[in-house]
Structure 1
């Protein structure tokens, strides 16, 4: 069970498969150098980043799904801990950012569905919304994607959002964390904070 969460009233959580660029994204938002690695599953417990005197925290939750060298029981435990953490803190979580790999997400989802499995990304997207957390899908590594609109439309389709993707700008945010191209995500998060009358938190996301 995850422990050590700072006592903060407002939080934005980042979730996603291993190796989709969550830690790089967190570094871009916070300026803090989180441990990252080429090997999936480097982050096993939450990384919290908070500010002294501010009632706010960013949380990078561990990656879920396949992790090299990690057995299935351990992977399931991590996923269970992520779900429990989100449920326990849903009242404080102002937004959830589901990070996916823009180049691979649709293929991974289709591969799982073809085996009769519920894809992790689809499951996490539905879960965040089910517990009432405003959710933004940060579609990362879009600098490597040629058929941009087609890919984003296909992702919307897999997530149960009728296309075209452009009508979901508060939910679908095409970004490139490595290139610091994060404006669509910053704007989506700012919109959700404004809807909650939390303009006091805008400085953390824009």
Structure 2
């Protein structure tokens, strides 16, 4: 299920828990529709979108975390597959975009924080950074958030980076994908591409 990757050198991946709007963001980035559904877990295997002339692919990885109607065993398997995929292609990944739901992310992180538990979003953020993959946290659905700066500062705090969020504009990108408001994400991704001498990919972001 995870061996469908086109033979491309450079890659940008979208990761995040189910129902945060990854597929909507993918559609905004590519202009191409993928299956999106109101139910979490519609995307069970990677969606790849590549441009024939470019040695480059954007990949929307399946959502992790709770999915209605999906057994825990299967959820864990999907998460394992995601981790293995990222480890296998870490050297190819130019930028990872960790998508979170701006409205609920703090509550979800706090609900799953305990002595034996690291929330998925926090775990994934640190996992990507340990692999030295440049990571942007796309904080989606910001149109539903009133206390914007406060919420983004709280997210920095939960991720273990020091607020205020505005000093992390390469890392924290507030967006509303369904309204096409993704310019802050595009700018962050371009920063990382530029650092890797891949300005040729700016036209996609």
Q: Provide the TM-score with structure 1 as the length reference.
A: 0.98
Cα deviation code 1:6-54 (max 9, x no counterpart): 0000000000000000000000000000000000000000000001121
Shift of 1:172: 0.1
User: Is 1:150 paired with 2:150?
Assistant: yes
Other structure's SS at 1:151 match:
helix
1:88 paired residue number: 88
Shift of 1:177: 0.2
2:53 paired residue number: 53
Q: What's the RMSD between the two structures over aligned residues? A: 0.9
1:141 paired residue number: 141
Separation in 2, partners of 1:69, 1:117? 23
Shift of 1:203: 1.1
Separation in 2, partners of 1:47, 1:176? 21
Other structure's SS at 2:97 match:
strand
1:26 paired residue number: 26
2:196 paired residue number: 196
1:170 paired residue number: 170
Cα deviation code 1:41-77 (max 9, x no counterpart): 0000000000112100000000000001111110010
| Corresponding residue pairs, total | 205
Separation in 2, partners of 1:179, 1:93? 27
1:105 paired residue number: 105
Separation in 2, partners of 1:177, 1:5? 25
Separation in 1, partners of 2:75, 2:126? 20
Shift of 1:103: 0.5
Structure 2, unaligned runs of 5 or more = none
Q: Provide the TM-score with structure 2 as the length reference.
A: 0.98
Q: Summarize the alignment of residues 6-21 of structure 1 with structure 2, pairs less than 5 Å apart.
A: 6-21=6-21
Structure 1, unaligned runs of 5 or more = none
Other structure's SS at 2:178 match:
coil
Separation in 1, partners of 2:82, 2:55? 22
Separation in 2, partners of 1:173, 1:31? 20
